[in-house]
Amino acid sequence: MDESIQSKVSVVIHSLAGIIVGWTSTNFDVWISFLLGIIALFVIGYLGEFAFGKKGFKWWVSNGFIVYIFVWLASWIYFFNVLV
């Protein structure tokens, strides 16, 4: 698989996971939601390393970590304000 395609797939997977975890985080306390988000981030990162091969920490931060954190927090805030 081409490097740019791998980057795009990683961003999409982390974005979708951020939305899903952001939605499920509205059902829990703040600290449990934070812990759930961090655990999901590392599980997705581990699965991404397995699927794409070891790309290194810098690749994961730029193609998944930052995207996940921003999407997760934005969706968590959005769903919290809409649902609660």
**Tens digits of per-residue pLDDT, 55-72?**
778 888 888 889 999 999
Residue in the block written with tokens 């996971």: 17
Which is it for the CA torsion 74, 30, 35, 19, positive or negative?
negative
Domain ranges in the chain are: 3-83
The answer to whether residue 54 scores a pLDDT higher than 80 is no
Phi, psi at residue 56, to the nearest 5°? Answer: 105, 165
Distance CA 51, CA 73 (A): 25
Structure tokens given for 44: 């997705």
Q: Is the pTM here over 0.95, yes or no?
A: no
Give the confidence band of 50 by pLDDT, cuts at 50, 70, 90: confident
